[in-house]
Amino acid sequence: MVGMPSLNRTEAAERAAVVTPTAYDVDLDLTGGGETFRSRTVLRFTARSDEATFAELAPARLHSATLNGVALPPSALSGERLALTGLRAENELVVDAAMSYSNDGEGLHRFVDPADGATYLYAMSFLDAASRIFACFDQPDLKAPVTVSVTAPPGWLVAGNAPARAADKDGRWEFAPTRPLATYLVSLIAGPYHARYDEHDGLPLALYARRSLAAFLDAEADELFTITKQCLDRYAELFTERYPFGHYQQAFVPEFNAGAMENPGLVTVRDEMVYRSAVTDKERELRATVIAHEMAHMWFGDLVTMAWWDDLWLNESYADYMGVRVTAEATRFTGAWTTFAMSRKSWGMRADQRPSTHAVAPAEVHDTELALLNFDGISYAKGAAVLRQLAAWLGDDVFLAGVDAHLTAHRFGNATLADLLGALGTAGDRDLSGWADVWLRRAQVNTLRAEITRDEAGRYAEVAVVQTAPEDHPVLRPHRLALGLYDAEPDGTVRCRRRVAVELDPDRDGGRTPVAALVGQPAADLLLLNDGDLTYAKVRLDDATLSAAAHLLPAVADPLARALVWASVLDATVDGERPVADLVALVLAVLPTETDTAVVETVVRRTIDLVARYATAQARPAAMAMVAQACDRMLTAAPAGSSRQLAAAYGSIGATVEVARLRGWLDGAGVPEGLAIDNDLRWRIVSRLTVLGGFGPADIAAELDRDRSATGEQWAARCRAALPDPDAKARAWDLFVRDAGISVRLAEASASGFWQPEQRDLTAAYVERYFADMPEVTRVRKGIGAETIATAAYPRFHVEERTRRLAAELAARPGLTAVLRRVVADSDDDMRRALAARSVG
């Protein structure tokens, strides 16, 4: 679908100066056919008299539109904007239209469950998709109460942002008015959803999922409700404003693009988080963090909304920070900060070093198309890490007091960076403008290194922390961090015997800060820079620490400390400072003894990826065999049925080339005790067998017959694209490039399976086709779907100068969408790194 022109900041400001919406009444009829639904909007607003503006509307057919009782001509709708002229002080716009159901996860998404043929709908109004459902002023600073009515087929369940009166015999659902909402937060679900209900502290709670997932939702409901209640209690302790939106519902919906969406009163979550198979503790922790993250948005984004998308960080950075924090403080997943250090923050750092890097809080985001691109690791993970640093710098009590004052001052309204900095500065009695300039307004990441010399007695003669910055972003920043001195105890356990606080002040010290407190102290077995992970920076360990890591790391008691060592080694490998062979050797030596599932899963996944792209074709088989060997050792040592055993199995399946062994597991032969070959693990095995040529089309079809589900269909699409067969590749390419009728999730699955490092010869001819075909794909597809497919379809394993040349040629072409231009630039930067790393070893 080709979207309307992006709303730009100037247009939004001009409209906000002219109109103020006071109420939306939205009436939807979902009883028609499978292509469209009926939408009637009554939008009431005040305005400056005799001014003109426009409303957004993306109809399949516009039946009628009247402004203050006067019919608007058909020509009033152009480019999905409805022109409104001759405004009065009080206005009423009434629009009656047929709207298209979507298959891209935005607008009103329609899904037919392959398990039972039932139809399910959910509304996704983000970022500018509300106009695909109802007529509106679609910008975040024009908030108003929304009253929704829905006519649905009998027997359907309908839920929305606000409480509803039970449906009458005609399937009519009437919802109460909401609190003032930004249009991107309006949502609903409709269909034969299965529901579980509860309440907490007087607040109604609900969980929804498709009927075919009913048994799995029932099995997960206790944990989901428990985490929800724990998070609600913790937020109630942190903020004066209690949860303000009437009820708290979480709907697990099919083919969802994001992890979840913070619609107040009705959070939508991808339904893969209703687990139908065994999962690791890391996956359960991720789900808990998602619940806490979306709940944080009820205050950061829903209660207080950014005025424009340049303050996206006020939503996402805070939700990411609070989500991890509250998960660690309120739930059983006390190690959430370890996972953040191990994987989430590295996502932010990778984004921060690419050509598309931007400030956490950019001075200006021109339009909504560019705003979408900022939903990335910078706005989420980097911003969260920066806020953690700020809380450490200000003191936690001061930080929370400032945040609470900000929320109270702007409740149900909009706010900006200046508003928040003012509240924090008042609470801490300090000016934060200098801090904000270097941390929020400047892009890129610093690198920290410890420079160490020892005397003959093994004591520190000199210790200094050196901070550097990239040449094209030469900004040094203040940091508050710790140096951890770790030593082996008599029982062999390695623990921190001392932490030394260090403040890096570039204005005072330049890029080199001496640590006088360590001079003359016995040198530690392992000196960990940024111990506790309180700042955002790339960390490079000293040579002595790196040398000791292979034999000391398994004995380090603190999983966060182990995660920080691994994160540093992985990052140095990504940057080509260390050969991938060294990483693989460390994985083989150390990882089989690792007990933290988050560390295991992240290290294995990233190592397999780095070997696939950074190792030469000659070196890759041996390196992958070593990774498989490490996973098999861990698989043997892990307790039966444990999370660690399952994580090891994931890695073993992903790295092995043993076709007979994998086939045996499918048939129940040689399966490690306690490892359940359930639906999702079985598909992992099938996927790897397909890549290795051990499974064919008929085998995949048989597996799909065993698992006729939405997840099964996506796995089958991925496997069919991974077949080492020219005809299969041609069919898969046509599917995700030319068939706009399939959902984004199926297109993504097919694109993800297409490129395999073992099949470079087979896919070589498609490298040119990517750069030829993708402009049209991203013209037809919209928003997140376009970015998802363009990223998944990139020929990332063809690490060649030819791929880079084609990328440069495409980037020079005019008329590319902003989405494709960014995907190509960032993917090409990854390839530049891979090519450089191959020269390292």
- Give the residue numbers marked as catalytic: 294
CA distance 143 to 128: 14
For residue 191 the two structure tokens come to 């269909």
Residue given tokens 């003669």 in the structure block: 461
For residue 27 the two structure tokens come to 């009436």
Question: Sheet holding 512-514: strands in order across?
Answer: 512-514, 460-468, 447-454, 538-540
Residue 605 main-chain phi, psi, to 5 deg: -60, -45
Query: Nearest 5 degrees, angle CA 545-CA 551-CA 555?
Result: 95
Q: Would you say the C-alpha torsion 549, 551, 554, 555 has a positive or negative sign?
A: negative
Tell me which DSSP letter residue 151 carries. E
Secondary structure string (H, E, C) spanning 267-336: EEEEHHHCCCCCCCHHHHHHHHHHHHHHHHHCCECCCEEECCHHHCHHHHHHHHHHHHHHHHHHCCCCCH
Under a CB-based contact definition with an 8 Å cutoff, are residues 191 and 171 in contact? no
3-state SS, residue 11: helix
CA distance 305 to 498: 43
Question: Sheet holding 146-151: strands in order across?
Answer: 70-71, 61-67, 90-100, 36-47, 19-29, 146-151, 172-175, 164-165
Burial class (CB in 10 A: 0-12, 13-18, 19+), 490: exposed
Under a CB-based contact definition with an 8 Å cutoff, are residues 83 and 52 in contact? yes
Under a CB-based contact definition with an 8 Å cutoff, are residues 445 and 345 in contact? no
Q: Give me the helix-helix angle, 597-614 and 580-590, nearest 10°.
A: 150
Under a CB-based contact definition with an 8 Å cutoff, are residues 369 and 818 in contact? yes
CA distance 790 to 584: 30
Burial class (CB in 10 A: 0-12, 13-18, 19+), 473: middle
Q: Bridge-partner residues for 108, per DSSP? A: 123
Pairing mode of beta strands 164-165, 77-78? unpaired
Under a CB-based contact definition with an 8 Å cutoff, are residues 632 and 591 in contact? no
Identity of the residue numbered 778: T
| Helix then strand then coil, % of the chain, to nearest 5 | 45, 20, 35
What is the DSSP secondary-structure string of 47-112? E-TT--EEEE---SEEEEEEETTEEPPGGGEETTEEEE-S--SEEEEEEEEEEE-BSSSSEEEEEE
CA distance 412 to 432: 25
Q: Would you say the C-alpha torsion 637, 643, 645, 648 has a positive or negative sign?
A: negative
Residue 147 main-chain phi, psi, to 5 deg: -115, 120
Secondary structure string (H, E, C) spanning 330-342: HCCCCCHHHHHHH
| Residue of 495, 475, 485 lying closest to 450 (CA atoms) | 485
CA distance 40 to 28: 6
Cα distance from N-terminal residue to C-terminal residue, the chain: 46
Residues 362-397 as b/e (b if ≥16 CB within 10 A, e otherwise) read beebebbbbbbbbbbbbbbbbbbbbbbbbbbbbeee
CA distance 469 to 347: 19
